[in-house]
Chains A and B, each alone.
Chain A
Amino acid sequence: MRYLAAQWADDVERAVEYSGGSVVRVRSGESVHGWSQTSRRAVRTWLYEDVHLRGATGVAALGVTPPELPAHLRQDVMSPGWAEGGVVGGQRVIRNAAGLELIVEERRIQRSGAGQVDVLLPRFRANVLPGWHSVTSLRGAPDGRLLRLYLSAWPLSQIFALIEALDQKPESWAVKWSTDDAQVRPDSAVLYLTRPSAPELLVLADRFDGGAEREVPGFSCRRGPTIALGGSVAHPRSGSFGSLVADNAARAVLVGHDLRGELGVLTDELVEQWRA
């Protein structure tokens, strides 16, 4: 899959250029000189925005919950593994392994014994990340390293239709979508899948793809007119696949490493994961 690495590298080389020992952002003329954590962060941001997001900005503010949110997205899902956390102000508290404590109504608690409880949680979360809403499958959020399926500029109605179809499947998955109306991102919706469920759910998502070809994220592998594949690895701070690729590319650019070789490791892994 080295052609994909070459394609990513070409995009990177169009986004930045070298000038007198500095690395310059072509879009704005900003520049950094030499290797440091600061220059690495700067170049990572440039590549993330100019290549992965195709010129959109990565900054997002909280969005408004769509008033037309369909009823099936407002359902609750069972979440196991919570512990009884006592009573605060007359209200029941539950606690998970990560230390999160929630005040919940009695109706949400399903006993499972030995101080452990299952809890009904909302499947829709507004602004789970600033500027992103999310919905989990009826079986809850998927576990482990997750593959990403980018859905480029899908309207909400199309995303909701996909979710309705996904609800007919037994697998766990999650979808997030951008709430930012001011700019159209090529990753405006993302479906997160486990590796075992990926082949079947990918075929299902294909049924909703079509029409005119739209830009997909720069660091992805185009699947169809509006769908692209992303890997399961992510940047430790941002949790983003595109940001991780941008970070590796930034490092290669700044220290003069083999860009195609660095990116080739990631594209090989991406393709291998989707093949499996």
Chain B
Amino acid sequence: MFEVSGREYVGLTHRLGGEDLFELERETTFRLAQDPSVALGPLWDSSDLMVLPKVEPLAVPGLASGDVADDEYAAHVATLMVGVHRQPPPLHSMRSEQVLRLPIPIDRWANTPERVVELVVQLREHQGCVDEITRLRLEVARVQPQVTVHGDLKPDNIMIGPGATAVGIDWEMSGSGPAVEDFAAFWAGLFVEMLAQSVAQGAGEDDLREVAVGTERRLERMLQAVVSEYVRRMSVHFTPADLHALGLLRLMARLESMCRTRSARSVDELFLLRAVTHGLGSWKSGVSGGAT
């Protein structure tokens, strides 16, 4: 019996996407692990299980930590992004989570959690925006340089590797794509993380708007720091509006994913939903955060 305790392991049965995603993750992990500042190679591998070295998450600075901690965090993230984007792009395109939209095929409805369905219905008023952002995403992918992208570079997937450098985990969405996709994934993931921090520090539901606005401000500062560090070493070709729009699409997909896999106790859907709709409204009216 193989002992996996104390290690990060990736099993075929742990991948919701099944065998295809497992194979993609294995292939990408082996390829990228040639550069240990980007990803770590497996300790052991079989047809349905891959055991990776145990690593700790790169902690997002607390709200009270201030700019110095934020800058340090941003530097780690930027270094990882540069490391990933410098790798030769693979032949396959990155995978992207799709936002569930109305109308829903009846078979899919019968296999979708009720809360997710409710969320999709509530987001209906913004469906025009979602369509527009989806078109924008295709256009961005068409015109911008293709690099290796992680595809799901949220804070949860950024770890501290050997030598105190940041490394990525969970590579099953990776492939070739525009660099902005990783910035957008980071933006959306950080948004969720920061909202969670705000909630944990005692914000009630009535304080939501204040929390959302405060989080957005700090988020934009953090993102600005990541981009500044990144462009010292590598050029980027996207607009703040691109980033904001693609981030919102990610945020919606993230929210759906959280609704699907966790209980109400650990997900404050209301906070996130309001943040998403608030963000969509801002994007629609042309008020972009402007990170680059």
Interface, chain A (partner B; CB < 8 A): 36-38, 45, 48, 58-62, 85, 88, 93, 98-105, 108, 121-122, 124-131, 237-238
- Please pick, from B104, B106, B201, the residue contacting A121 in the complex, using a CB distance under 8 A: B106
How far is A125 from B109 in the complex, measured between Cα atoms in Å?
A: 8
Inside 8 A of B285's CB, which chain A residues have their CB?
none
Name the residue of chain A whose CB is nearest to the CB of B103. A101
Interface, chain B (partner A; CB < 8 A): 16, 102-106, 109-115, 117, 121, 124, 199-205, 259-266, 270
A–B pairs, 16, beta carbons within 8 Å: A36-B204, A58-B263, A59-B266, A60-B263, A99-B124, A100-B109, A100-B121, A102-B106, A103-B104, A124-B110, A127-B112, A128-B113, A129-B115, A130-B262, A130-B263, A131-B263
A108 touching B106 in the complex, CB below 8 Å, given contacts A38-B202, A128-B114, A130-B259: yes
Inside 8 A of B102's CB, which chain A residues have their CB?
100-101
How far is A48 from B264 in the complex, measured between Cα atoms in Å?
A: 12
Name the residue of chain B whose CB is nearest to the CB of A128. B114
How far is A238 from B264 in the complex, measured between Cα atoms in Å?
A: 6
How far is A37 from B199 in the complex, measured between Cα atoms in Å?
A: 9
How far is A61 from B259 in the complex, measured between Cα atoms in Å?
A: 10
Inside 8 A of A93's CB, which chain B residues have their CB?
103
- What is the total of A-B residue contacts with beta carbons within 8 Å? 82
Name the residue of chain A whose CB is nearest to the CB of B259. A130
Q: Are A102 and B263 in contact (CB under 8 A)?
A: no
Q: Are B109 and A102 in contact (CB under 8 A)?
A: yes
- Please pick, from B106, B121, B205, B260, the residue contacting A122 in the complex, using a CB distance under 8 A: B106
How far is A105 from B105 in the complex, measured between Cα atoms in Å?
A: 9
Q: Are B103 and A37 in contact (CB under 8 A)?
A: no
How far is A127 from B109 in the complex, measured between Cα atoms in Å?
A: 10
State the Cβ distance, B126 to closest chain A Cβ, in Å.
13
Name the residue of chain A whose CB is nearest to the CB of B114. A128
State the Cβ distance, A117 to closest chain B Cβ, in Å.
13
Inside 8 A of B200's CB, which chain A residues have their CB?
38
State the Cβ distance, A126 to closest chain B Cβ, in Å.
5
Name the residue of chain B whose CB is nearest to the CB of A122. B110
